[in-house]
Chains A and B, each alone.
Chain A
């Protein structure tokens, strides 16, 4: 089972995410800039409206005061007529309208001035600066109060009409309609927004913050300044929120896109890896199939040869037997030697035929419980150690489920191979043990050991390092062991020599006993 690893985000998903984030940020700034521009335009419009409104008010006031001044001018300063004209303008207790001449109050409507008093100094100075057109005094501090005076002077008579308004600039004017609904306004009786010249404001939060529009309000020869700022987004809450919504959506989209692309890239990599693995497996299977087909053809040929050799070999053996029978009474050492040679070579050919057939034979093992020591004893009896070689039996008590004939052949081939590894004699130890569901049978010799150069070919059919032999002995052992679902290895032993180890499952599939 393949272990799943958390793989890093793919470069493509990172690039795409960053791209979307970059585009989103760009769009955010563009949209916000547009919204801000829209807000500014609306603010300027509002500021214009406010200024025009104030201008209108001032114009009206100028007109009113001019009218009163005209009456005073025409009536020679009649106080009664003045009061009749002026009284309607003093509805507010903060407003006083006075008829003034040479610094003296001739008549006054309202509570701020009284007839006969001298104008306070700052006010007198402002009146002195006045003319026939409306002029304003700026913010004056008289008697502990802040006032602003609007003056229209008589052209020839020296009369002046003065409108004195008490102001409370620290108290915001309540405004709930018209252009004041969405904006904060601060009016200064000067050309710059000096706090000391603040006339009126609609907010406590001064100075105004955020975008502020500065418009000029001409009052006579003076210039007042009107500052206007927005209370709430003039373009509306939604347009102002939109850039942030766009940014949030863009970032989420970037993350989702990155995740999706990353997932798709990972899946593609996984699919490609699976395809590569399956292709490799298929190619390996194909190679194995071709190899087996080849082996099958070779095997069939080997089987046929094995079969077909037996009859001529049988006839040759019979012929040799009959010849020896005829020559029983003859003493001819040369003839005997020749006949012995024939017999030896026939036996070699018979062994080859036997090995070919045994190697290619497909047979299901006929399983039975066998005592390993007894089987080894039988093998040693039919294949005794040559002179100079000893063989030892395994300990008793180990049993195995196997086909007896096949087990005998397995052990015969391994023990014979051990003998051949010790041409000058030695010892062969056969050991058997039983553990973990397997029976282990080892054949250990004291020969030269396994040549590492050829070690991986040792079980190949027809492979041999000996001058005689078919090279099928160990290949047959491997086939017989594998027919029992077992394994066989041949390696160098810890004390020199080779050790062949066969592992047979204690209960192979198909075990019936």
Chain B
């Protein structure tokens, strides 16, 4: 169930960020946008976010930086959109359960919707 899920979309590419937000809003999500990692962390600290859709390469703190300083605790599930395998196996092992799912750009919209839905379901099951 994805309706009402609060999603933070963080990507420095305006076209991709806004169309992603529109797709998620079209299936009932409430979307907050951030154009870089610093803004993403500010948003995470200032309002409740259920799922994060996070680009890796961003200015002013990239996706890895966001993951490493993620608040609040417990952090929300994060779907990482990786464009060029910036995250190798070693880094994936280090990031561990901070990342719910990795998707490779360009992401098919249905794959994104499925991933956000699964993340929301996990959160709901954890919250009871």
**Which residues of chain A have a CB within 8 Å of any CB of chain B?**
303, 306-307, 310-319, 321-322, 325, 346, 350, 353, 357, 361, 363, 366
Contacts and interface: CB of A to CB of B under 8 A. Distances in A.
Nearest to B85: A361
A311 B23 contact: no
Contact of A322 (B22, B84, B107, B108): B22
B83 to A, nearest CB: 5
A312 B85 contact: no
B109 A311 contact: no
* Shortest 8 CB-CB contacts between residues of A and residues of B: A318-B19, A315-B15, A314-B106, A311-B13, A321-B109, A310-B105, A313-B106, A315-B16
Interface in B78-107: 83-85, 88-89, 105-107
30 contacts: A307-B57, A307-B83, A307-B84, A311-B11, A311-B83, A311-B106, A312-B13, A312-B15, A313-B106, A314-B13, A314-B16, A314-B19, A315-B15, A315-B16, A316-B106, A317-B107, A318-B19, A318-B23, A319-B19, A321-B109, A322-B22, A322-B23, A322-B26, A346-B106, A357-B84, A357-B85, A361-B84, A361-B85, A363-B88, A366-B89
B20 interface: yes
Nearest to A307: B84
A319 B26 CA distance: 12
A307 B109 CA distance: 19
Interface in B100-127: 105-109
Interface residues of B, number: 20
A245 to B, nearest CB: 84
Contacts of A315: 13, 15-16, 19
Contacts of B109: 317-318, 321
Nearest to B18: A315
A319 B19 CA distance: 6
A37 to B, nearest CB: 100
A310 B106 contact: yes
Contacts of A319: 19
Nearest to A322: B22
A321 B25 CA distance: 13
Contacts of B88: 363
Contact of A311 (B22, B85, B89, B105): B105
- Residue of B84, B85, B106 ringed by the most chain A CB atoms within 10 A: B106
Grouping DSSP codes into helix (H, G, I), strand (E, B) and loop, the B interface class, with mixed when no group exceeds half, is: loop
Contacts of B22: 318, 322
Contacts of B57: 307
A350 B105 CA distance: 9
- Residue of A314, A322, A366 ringed by the most chain B CB atoms within 10 A: A314
A361 to B, nearest CB: 6
A156 to B, nearest CB: 152
Given A357-B84, A363-B85, 10 more contacts: A307-B83, A311-B16, A313-B105, A315-B16, A318-B19, A318-B20, A350-B106, A353-B106, A361-B84, A363-B88
Nearest to B93: A366
Interface in B1-59: 11, 13, 15-16, 19-20, 22-23, 26, 57
Contacts of B106: 310-311, 313-314, 316-317, 346, 350, 353
Contacts of A307: 57, 83-84
B20 to A, nearest CB: 6
A317 B20 CA distance: 10
B59 to A, nearest CB: 14
A357 B57 CA distance: 15
A314 B105 contact: yes
Contacts of B15: 311-312, 315
Contacts of A366: 89
Nearest to A306: B84
A357 B16 CA distance: 19
Nearest to A317: B106
A109 B59 CA distance: 155
B89 A314 contact: no
A346 B20 CA distance: 17
Contacts of A306: 84
Nearest to A326: B26
A321 B105 contact: no
A314 B23 contact: no
A406 to B, nearest CB: 11
B58 to A, nearest CB: 11
A306 B108 CA distance: 17
A334 to B, nearest CB: 23
A451 B55 CA distance: 44
B66 to A, nearest CB: 18
A366 B89 CA distance: 8
Contacts of B107: 314, 317
